[in-house]
Amino acid sequence: MTTVAASWLPLSPGERSVAIEVLVHGPLSRSELARRLDLSAGSLTRLTKPLIESGLLVEVPEAGAPAEGRQGRPSQPLDVVAESRSFLGFKVTEDMVYGVATTLRSEIVARLDRPLTTHDPQKVADLLAGMARELAAGLPTLAGIGIGVGGLVQDRAVVGESPFLLWRDVPLAELVRRRTGLPVVVDNDVAALVEAESWFGAGRGLERFVVLTIGAGIGYGLVLGGRRVPCAEEDRGFGRHWILNPNGPLTPFGERGSAVSLLTIPSIRYQIQAATGREVTYGEVLALAAAGDPMASRVIDEAARALGALVAHISNFAMPQKILLAGEGVGLMDVAGNTVVETLRAHRHPLAAPVDLEVKVSDFHDWARGAAVLAIQVLVLGAVEG
C-alpha cells in the first residue's frame, strides 16, 4: 500500500485552522477564509502557501465565472481535492467487522463486511489488514486507517478494555500499522461517530452539539466550541447509573430505572422475555407495540417516556443547538415518537426554545465512516504519525 506524502505532516496551528475550515466548509474564497478565521490578507497568504505547495489545498474556478474571467490567483477559491486520497474506517463489533473506504470529505465510496470468528488480537489485525487490501483495490492513494471499538481506548492506539471483545491492553493501532504500513488511529466508536457528525454531518458548523445513540448500549458525545469534549464515561457504559425512573424495570444490564435498563435493545428484549418466556427480536417488539400488543406497548411506551426525559435533561443542562439521535435503536421513534416529543416538552420550561432533535436511521457503516474521519483528522491535524 502507498502511504500519504510526508509533506502533509505536520501542520502549524494556523495552517491546521485554514485546512480544517476549507475541508469542512469549502470551497472558500480567500476573503471569506480571512473573515472566518479573523486573519489579515498577508497572514492568510503565508498560511495557505505551504498548504497549496503540499497539495492539500488547490485553487479552483469560482462558481459561475467564465473560464477566461476573473484573472489572477487571489480571486480563486481554495478547496481540497476530495478524491485525491482514500481513507479506511472499520467498526469492530463482537461478531462482525464493518469497513468503508471514503474520500477526504468522508464520502463513502466502498463497503466491505466480514464475520469476526475470533477475538485473538493478532488474527483480528490480520483480518483488518486483509480487508484494507480489498478495499484499497482500484482506489486513489490510501492515506490512513481509523478503527472504532466499543470500550476504553488509550492514546488513540491501545484498546485498554473492551467488554465485547474481552480485550485488555491490546496495541491494535500498532498491530494494524505493521501489517499495512499506514498511519492507524483507534478510538471509542461513539467518539468517532461524534467527530464525524461534528466535521461532516449534522453538527457541522455548530458550537454546541450532542450525539445520543441508543442500541446495544447508550452512547453520548458533547461538542462545545466546535470541539468534542472527552468524557471518561463515554467508553464505560454511559447511562448505566443515570436514573430516569426509580420505579422502572430492573434488568441485568443497568441500575433499576436507568437509561440503560429502559432504553437499550438488550434490556427491552429482556423485559419481554421475562414477562412472556419468549425470545423476540427488537424489530418484533416494535412491530408488536405498533399492533397494540399490551406487553410490548407498555415496554415501548416506558422506553419512549424515558427517551423524552433523557433528551430534556441533556437539553436543560448542556443547552445544545442540536441533538442527533442515532444508533440501531432509533426505530423507537417510528413507533412512539409522539410520546418522546410530549415527554420532552413536559420536562422543559414552557418558554424554552424547541429542541432541535434530528433522528438518523443509521447502520454500522456510519460508525465505520466515523472511524475513517479519525484518520482524516490525523492527516489534517497531524495528531498521529504512521
* Lowest model confidence (mean pLDDT) among 78-82, 147-151, 209-213, 337-341: 78-82
Predicted local distance difference test score (pLDDT) of residue 234: 54
CA distance 335 to 173: 41
Strand ranges for 182-310 from DSSP E: 184-188, 208-214, 218-224, 227-229
Residue 386 grid cell? 504512521
Each as own residue / partner, the long-range contacts of residues 265-272 (CB below 8 Å, 24 or more positions apart, any chain) are 265/214, 265/215, 265/216, 265/328, 265/329, 266/216, 268/299, 268/300, 268/303, 271/299, 272/296, 272/299
Categorise residue 155: left if φ over 0, alpha if ψ from -120 to 50, beta otherwise.
Answer: left
Residues of the chain with CATH 1.10.10.10: 6-80
Q: What is the pLDDT of residues 136-174, one digit of tens each?
A: 888 878 889 999 998 899 989 999 999 889 999 999 999
Interval 234-292: pLDDT, tens: 555 677 888 999 999 999 888 999 999 999 999 999 999 999 999 999 999 999 999 99
Report residue 349's pLDDT band, with 50, 70 and 90 as the boundaries: very high
Q: Nearest Cα to 257, choosing from 289, 288, 319, 303?
A: 303
- Across the range 84-104, mean pLDDT stands at 94
Q: Regarding the domain with residue range 204-359, which homologous superfamily does it belong to in the CATH classification? A: ATPase, nucleotide binding domain (3.30.420.40)
Q: From 3.40.50.920, 3.40.190.10, 3.20.20.70, 1.10.10.10, which CATH number describes the 6-80 domain?
A: 1.10.10.10
319: left (phi over 0), alpha (psi -120 to 50) or beta: left
Instruction: Give the H or E element holding residue 359.
Output: strand 357-359
Q: Where in the chain is the domain with CATH 3.30.420.40?
A: 83-195+365-381, 204-359
Query: Distance from CA of residue 75 to its chain's centroid?
Result: 35
Cβ density class 64-81: b for 16+ within 10 Å, e for less: eeeeeeeeeeeebbbbbe
* pLDDT recorded at residue 65: 53
pLDDT value at residue 166: 93
Which fold does the domain 83-195+365-381 belong to in CATH?
Nucleotidyltransferase; domain 5 (3.30.420)
**Residue 199: which of 213, 209, 190 has the closest Cα?**
209
- Sole residue written with cell 440501531: 328
State pTM to two decimals.
0.86
Q: Convert the pLDDT of each residue in 20-79 to its tens digit.
A: 899 889 899 999 999 999 999 899 999 998 888 877 888 888 765 554 444 444 568 999
Report percent pLDDT > 90 for the chain: 68
Q: What is the pLDDT of residues 102-146, one digit of tens each?
A: 999 999 999 999 999 999 999 999 999 999 999 988 887 888 999
Q: Give the C-alpha separation, 101 to 93, whole Å.
A: 18
Of residues 176, 211, 169, the one with CA closest to residue 370: 211
